[in-house]
């Protein structure tokens, strides 16, 4: 249990998530004697990583559940109500086709792996937690304890840490809290650092229209009356307070300010995270290559974050804060539309951002250490016209497709297959536990690892089991 302290009135941990504003960052940096603090994040990062190789994951989270048939597992010879409105295109892999709206991906599919047999049973959305936790019980609509199960990314943060001690291990660009899994029972210090609150980014409305406004970017700005010198003075003041308390605290828990507090101040006065989230430091030619769209800018920032030392970055690819922009139930069910109206603008955007990211990582020599994953929480019905629509597909937690690239893994193939109508797994099911095991293997975390939650219980890393996807190794 954390001890009470003189700075408890600052309430550094009041908000959900990690450091949602400049004020929270300042409070966490200066109230660092217990609870959720930036120094404790840095301390956990350094102690858990232990000098491991700089492996990273960038998760492109397609919130809402993209249709497998209308993206990566097309069925062109099926009746129209099954195959959908889109044509197909040949890819760099002989005999493999994808949706016609993914031409850039098709041209470089030899750098990717497509898995067409992911098993999303038990997964739901809003909140979207089963696939992000690899825990089949993490379904909050049916299990009141679901939110306590930690995200894969949070366990990576706890068991391995970041690749640099001054950078958060788990970072997210979040549109809605219901789209992400958090640290749950292992403690809020392993929640994601919410980078969208720290970076200056365009503001899009709920249906994807650029409002012309900018948000964020002020988290690392000091108050007008606090200079870097005064920040140092405040640090010395806290250190003096701490020495006084240490005379009373015989247990030693009120130890003097150490290097982690100093690193926290360093993040405020000019650290790696601030620089990584500043797009003006990126060459204009590369910024132009990614493009001005919000998701593209976030993707570029994800690359900059892993370059700075973050281990796990999640991008919430959604405009809407409810079930997610990829939730294409039908044109008669706003705001996302059906397959044609809903996916036609999304797919070229996704096509551009994922291929630009992979190409950029490759050119910078970062692709072998960075595993790129693109997925949602489930697939969609094989038949069009659900919920009285003519063009929508409903939730379908029986099969889905996903993409992987990089990470030094073996690519240029398709794993698994679905049935003729794309509605069920035909061969080689891949479970959430298998995906988690593959991610942990990438990071060098032993699959038989256990961890201790905040209550002192010892838990298994893979609660429902799981094996690495051997075709990737």
Q: What percent of the chain has pLDDT over 90?
A: 73
What is the residue-wise DSSP string for 3-27? PP-TTGGG-TT-SSSB--SHHHHHH
Pairwise CA distance, residues 121 & 141, whole Å: 14
Domain assignment of residue 249, yes or no: no
pLDDT band, very low/low/confident/very high, at 221 (cuts 50, 70, 90): low
Pairwise CA distance, residues 171 & 159, whole Å: 16
Q: What is the mean pLDDT of residues 75-81?
A: 98
- How many Cα atoms occupy the beta-carbon half-sphere of 207 within 13 Å? 6
Quick one: pLDDT at residue 271?
83
Quick one: pLDDT at residue 53?
74
Average pLDDT, the chain: 85
Tokens of 371: 């595993």
Domain assignment of residue 231, yes or no: no
Domain assignment of residue 21, yes or no: no
Domain assignment of residue 424, yes or no: yes
Domain assignment of residue 421, yes or no: yes
In 141-279 the beta strands, taken as DSSP E runs, fall at: 170-173, 193-194, 201-204, 210-215
pLDDT band, very low/low/confident/very high, at 257 (cuts 50, 70, 90): very low
Secondary structure (3-state) at 188: helix
CATH number, position 457: 3.40.720
Domain assignment of residue 295, yes or no: yes
Q: How many domains in the chain?
A: 1
Least confident of 231-240, 248-257, 275-284, 343-352: 248-257
Tokens of 50: 């232990």
Tokens of 203: 């503001």
What sign has the CA pseudo-torsion 307, 311, 317, 318? negative
pTM for this one?
Answer: 0.84
Counts for the chain of helices (H) and strands (E), in that order:
13, 18
Please report which helix (H) or strand (E) contains residue 464, including its range: none
Q: Find the helix packing angle between 294-308 and 344-363, rounded to 10°.
A: 30
For residue 238, say if its preceding peptide bond is cis, omega within 30 degrees of 0: no
Measure Cα distances from 414 to 2, 92, 112, 423, 437 in Å.
50, 12, 9, 17, 19
Higher local confidence (pLDDT), 237 or 82: 82
Looking up tokens 């099926």, which residue turns up? 78
Pairwise CA distance, residues 418 & 461, whole Å: 29
Quick one: pLDDT at residue 7?
36
Pairwise CA distance, residues 296 & 355, whole Å: 11
Domain assignment of residue 58, yes or no: yes
Domain assignment of residue 25, yes or no: no
Measure Cα distances from 339 to 380, 417, 421 in Å.
10, 22, 16
Domain range for 172 is: 37-220+271-472
Question: Given a cut of 90, is residue 209 above it in pLDDT?
Answer: yes
């Amino acid at each position: 249990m954390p001890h009470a302290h003189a700075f408890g009135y600052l309430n550094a941990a009041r908000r959900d998530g990690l450091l949602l504003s400049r004020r929270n960052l300042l409070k966490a940096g200066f109230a660092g004697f217990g609870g959720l603090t930036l120094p404790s994040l840095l301390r956990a990062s350094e102690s858990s990583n232990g000098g491991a190789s700089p492996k990273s994951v960038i998760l492109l989270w397609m919130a809402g559940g993209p249709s497998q048939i209308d993206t990566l597992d097309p069925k062109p010879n099926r009746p129209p109500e099954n195959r959908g409105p889109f044509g197909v295109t040949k890819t760099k892999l002989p005999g493999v086709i994808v949706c016609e709206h993914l031409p850039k991906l098709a041209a470089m599919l030899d750098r990717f792996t497509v898995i067409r047999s992911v098993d999303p049973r038990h997964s739901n959305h809003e909140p979207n937690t089963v696939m992000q936790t690899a825990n089949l019980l993490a379904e909050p609509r049916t299990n009141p304890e679901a939110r306590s199960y930690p995200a894969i990314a949070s366990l990576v943060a706890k068991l391995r840490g970041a690749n640099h001690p001054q950078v958060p291990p788990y970072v997210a660009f979040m549109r809605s809290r219901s789209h992400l899994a958090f640290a749950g029972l292992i403690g809020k210090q392993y929640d994601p650092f919410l980078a969208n609150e720290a970076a200056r980014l365009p503001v899009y409305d709920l249906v994807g229209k650029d409002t012309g406004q900018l948000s964020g970017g002020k988290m690392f700005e000091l108050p007008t009356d606090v200079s870097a010198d005064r920040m140092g003075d405040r640090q010395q003041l806290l250190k003096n307070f701490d020495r006084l308390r240490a005379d009373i605290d015989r247990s030693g828990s009120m130890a003097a300010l150490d290097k982690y507090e100093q690193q926290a101040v360093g993040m405020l006065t000019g650290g790696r995270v601030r620089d990584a989230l500043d797009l003006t430091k990126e060459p204009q030619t590369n910024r132009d290559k990614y493009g001005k769209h919000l998701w593209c800018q976030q993707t570029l920032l994800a690359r900059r974050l892993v370059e700075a030392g973050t281990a796990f970055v999640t991008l919430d690819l959604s405009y809407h804060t409810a079930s997610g922009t990829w939730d294409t139930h039908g044109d008669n069910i706003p705001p996302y539309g059906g397959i044609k109206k809903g996916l036609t603008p999304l797919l070229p955007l996704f096509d551009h951002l994922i291929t630009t990211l992979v190409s950029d990582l490759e050119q910078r020599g970062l692709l072998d250490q960075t595993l790129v994953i693109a997925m949602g929480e489930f697939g969609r019905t094989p038949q069009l016209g659900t919920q009285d629509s003519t063009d929508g597909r409903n939730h379908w937690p029986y099969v889905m497709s996903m993409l992987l690239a990089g990470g030094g893994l073996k690519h240029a193939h398709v794993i698994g297959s679905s049935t003729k109508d794309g509605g069920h797994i035909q061969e080689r099911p891949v479970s959430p536990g298998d995906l988690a095991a593959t991610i942990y293997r990438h990071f060098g975390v032993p699959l038989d690892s256990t961890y201790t939650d905040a209550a002192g219980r010892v838990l298994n890393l893979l609660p429902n089991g799981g094996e690495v996807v051997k075709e990737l190794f």
